[in-house]
Structure 1
Amino acid sequence: MKVRASMKSLKNQTGAQVVRRRGKVYVINRLNPRFKGHQG
C-alpha cells in the first residue's frame, strides 16, 4: 500500500475524494486505490 506524504498532491489525482472522519482528513481514491492518505 502506497501512502503519499503530501495531501495536496493526492487531492489533485483523478478520482480522489477528501473525506473527514473522526476529526481526521482522509483522501481515498476508488479509481486508483494506491493513492491514500490521512492527516490529523
Structure 2
Amino acid sequence: MLEMNSSSSLKSPPPQSPLPVSGIWYLVSGIWYLVSTVVI
C-alpha cells in the first residue's frame, strides 16, 4: 500500500514491475495519491 512517503515510492517503483511499466506505475501512483487524499 502507499505510505505517506509517496515521493520515495514514485522514485523507486516495485521490483515486480519491469522498466516499461515504470512510467505507467508513475501515473497510477500519482492518480492514486490524489484519490487517497480526497478519500481521506
Largest Rg, 1 or 2: 2
TM-score norm. by structure 2 comes to 0.30
Q: Which is richer in helix?
A: 2
- Structure with more strand by fraction: 1
